[in-house]
Amino acid sequence: MSPAGARPVALPRRRWILVVVSERRDDGWVPMGVISRGFTGRGRQGPKLPPGQYLVEDFPVLSAGPTPRVDLDDWEFVLTTESGEEHRWDWDGFTSLPTESVTVDIHCVTKWSKLGTTWEGVSLDTLLDGVDTSAEYALARSYGGYTSNLPLEDLTDGKAWVAFRFDGGDLEPEHGGPARLLVPHLYFWKSAKWLRGIQLLNHDEPGFWESLGYHNYGDPWLEQRYWGD
């Protein structure tokens, strides 16, 4: 996800954005200064890291606003097709679906990477099984109003999950619990926290950060961070 309280400012040339961020680590919030297209970060470290990324051992917390607190009795996940057909699960029903445990690397647009993270969740292939759709795009919707857009093909064939456990325990709210989208091959803002549904679309619809200057796709290996990358 993207930084807590970050306020992107569109500069006169639309290919530039300015973001003031802070990052929460184990010892509290740490100001990270300003990120722009000219930010160089800490450089590439290690063969598994995409260009411009640096390795962290903790799990920084970056969000676009306050953390929603969702009671499991009220939690619901809704998959909506382009025709308006809805497929709904409450918490008990969702967590009763077949799950997978995956170990993946994750990469944040603010240039940190965390390797070998272990998650448990429901594959999007499982959720889409039997769903009648010809959609090519998806819009993830979160409690709290956050959205993130993705091509549907980036959610299928074992590439994405709705995760509700991390590192052997329940997924904490600050990291997106009760459940979050997990799409590890894209920058982590695409893996929407506090997920409440996915809408299938025939057209691409930019999400929260995409409409404020972040790249529409977000491939970390191509450094697709902002407009024009």
Top pLDDT among 17 and 208 is at 208
CATH of the domain at 16: 3.90.420.10
Q: Are 17 and 11 in contact (CB under 8 A)?
A: yes
Domain count, the chain: 1
Top pLDDT among 63 and 205 is at 205
30 has pLDDT over 60: no
In this predicted model, what pLDDT tens digit does every residue of 90-107 receive, in sequence order?
999 999 999 999 999 999
Residue 225: closest CA among 87, 107, 72, 121: 107
Q: Is residue 3 part of a domain?
A: no
Domain with 127 in it:
9-222
Q: Is residue 1 part of a domain?
A: no
What rounded mean pLDDT belongs to the chain? 84
- Quickly state the pLDDT bin for 2 (edges 50, 70, 90): very low
Q: Is residue 142 part of a domain?
A: yes
pLDDT of residue 64: 66
- Quickly state the pLDDT bin for 26 (edges 50, 70, 90): low
Please, how many CA atoms are within 13 Å of residue 87, restricted to the half-sphere of its CB? 19
Q: Is residue 210 part of a domain?
A: yes
Q: Is residue 106 part of a domain?
A: yes
Q: Is residue 4 part of a domain?
A: no
Q: Is residue 73 part of a domain?
A: yes
The neighbouring-strand residues paired with 79 are: 87, 198
pLDDT of residue 120: 98
Full-model pTM: 0.80
Tokens of 218: 């977000």
**What is the helix (H) or strand (E) element at residue 23, kind and residue range?**
strand 17-25
- Quickly state the pLDDT bin for 68 (edges 50, 70, 90): confident
- Quickly state the pLDDT bin for 43 (edges 50, 70, 90): very low
Query: In 28-111, at which residue ranges do the beta strands (DSSP E only) sit?
Result: 28-35, 54-55, 76-80, 86-90, 100-107
Please, how many CA atoms are within 13 Å of residue 195, restricted to the half-sphere of its CB? 32
211 has pLDDT over 50: yes
14 has pLDDT over 60: no
- Quickly state the pLDDT bin for 47 (edges 50, 70, 90): low
In this predicted model, what pLDDT tens digit does every residue of 153-193 receive, in sequence order?
999 999 999 999 999 999 999 999 999 999 999 999 999 99
Q: Are 205 and 139 in contact (CB under 8 A)?
A: yes
